[in-house]
Amino acid sequence: MSSLNLDDFTDLIERPDGGVRRDAEARRERQIVPPGALGRLDELGEWLAAAQAAVPVRPVERPRMVLFAGDHGIAALGVSARPAGSADRLVRAVLEGASPASILARQLNVPVRVVDMALDCDPGELPADVVRHRVRRGSGRIDVEDALTPEEAEAAFRAGVAVADEEADAGTDLVVLGDVSVGGTTAAAVLVAALCGTDASVVTGRGGLPIDDLAWMRKCAAVRDALRRARPVLGDQLQLLAAVGGADLAAMTGFLLQCAARKTPVILDGVVSAACALVAQRVAFRAPDWWLAGQKSGEPAQAKALDRMALEPLLDHGVTVGEGAGALLALPLVQAAAALSAELPDKSVEADGSGDTEQPE
């Protein structure tokens, strides 16, 4: 019998410090630029101060992009524009610095960590530090079988927790979270539909590389069939991830919960991270207070999940490539908010005449 009790996260996870946030708001009111004039940057600065429990807010100096990778058996039905079992090619592009996400990360000076949970390739083909948490080779076809056994789901979840601890212990002060998967958006749509009580057609999108109408219809049918298998296990989030999630999604859910427990802020990317966040919210209702929605991906399931968690995307720029690329683009906005919050002078400085270049008459 499993020794993992997800209910423990309800007690472990606290909200960001409300008193510190009020102090940050009061400090903002004393600054020379009127409150509200910086739009969401004001809100971001105050959120970050509360997450750090620090006024003035500290700069975000050690961000890290963490990508959970896996193949999904449901891709064999032609629900993705990419061939089934080909996520390892995407991982190699990231590791070689040739993917959009890795190029952006290099430009922004953000280290990238890839965690293989269920790639459908020989583990010897990838670096040892990438594959050391792998649970299985590919996740099951969720329309007709479970994605994982209960033991695999627990192992994947624990791996996500371990990765979050490793990042917190290493001094990572903000995580940009994404996925590298083939078939992952289908599994994510099932989770969102199940948790929000909606039909398959409401949550089924066209994926990172847009699929045609026939593929979309196949994807809708796959989500519908998997949804029938998800509903009976809605009361147990680990069973839900085993039935219709996947090793990468289970790991990402554990990662998000442990990041909240360790008070590590996270920027979510697309529909896969949003779906995992929604599962995590079911486990611990305070956890979403530690997350930002980096971007609007255009996937209907993402919009549904973010609305349920009351998270408003920072950016809407039409980036659907996945792999954390959209969330990375939101990172400079968060860093700018921190700098403005910390460095804008008080009104008292202006009143003292330190910025006055005119001579008295």
299 is catalytic: no
Quickly state the pLDDT bin for 3 (edges 50, 70, 90): confident
| pTM, two decimal places | 0.94
pLDDT at 10: 94
Q: Determine the average pLDDT of the residues in 133-139.
A: 97
Residue 138 sits at the vertex; the CA angle it makes with 132 and 141, to the nearest 5 degrees, is 150
Could you tell me the residue ranges of all domains in the chain? 8-58+341-351, 63-331
Residue 35 pLDDT > 50:
yes
Contacts with 289 (C-beta within 8 Å, 6 or more apart), sequence order: 15, 16, 260
According to DSSP, residue 288 is labeled: G
Residue 357 pLDDT > 50:
no
- Which residue blocks in the chain are alpha helix, DSSP H? 8-12, 18-29, 40-52, 87-95, 100-107, 128-131, 150-169, 184-196, 200-203, 213-230, 237-244, 247-261, 271-283, 300-309, 325-343, 347-351
| CATH placement of domain 63-331 | 3.40.50.10210
**pLDDT tens, 156-192?**
999 999 999 999 999 999 999 999 999 999 999 999 9
- As a whole number of angstroms, the distance between CA 226 and CA 214 comes to 18
Mean pLDDT of the chain: 93
Range in 152-166, 211-225, 227-241, 316-330 the model is least confident about? 316-330
Quickly state the pLDDT bin for 210 (edges 50, 70, 90): confident
CA 297 from chain center: how many Å?
Answer: 12
According to DSSP, residue 119 is labeled: -
pLDDT at 351: 54
Q: Determine the average pLDDT of the residues in 11-24.
A: 95
pLDDT at 352: 56
Residue 78 pLDDT > 60:
yes
Residue 354 pLDDT > 70:
no
- As a whole number of angstroms, the distance between CA 246 and CA 141 comes to 10
- As a whole number of angstroms, the distance between CA 269 and CA 299 comes to 11
Range in 11-20, 191-200, 209-218 the model is least confident about? 209-218
Residue 113 and residue 146 in contact, taking contact as beta carbons nearer than 8 Å: no
**pLDDT tens, 256-279?**
999 999 999 999 999 999 999 999
| CATH placement of domain 8-58+341-351 | 1.10.1610
pLDDT at 320: 82
Residue 203 pLDDT > 90:
yes
43, 323, 343, 350: which is the annotated catalytic residue?
Answer: 323
Percent of the chain scoring above 90 in pLDDT? 89
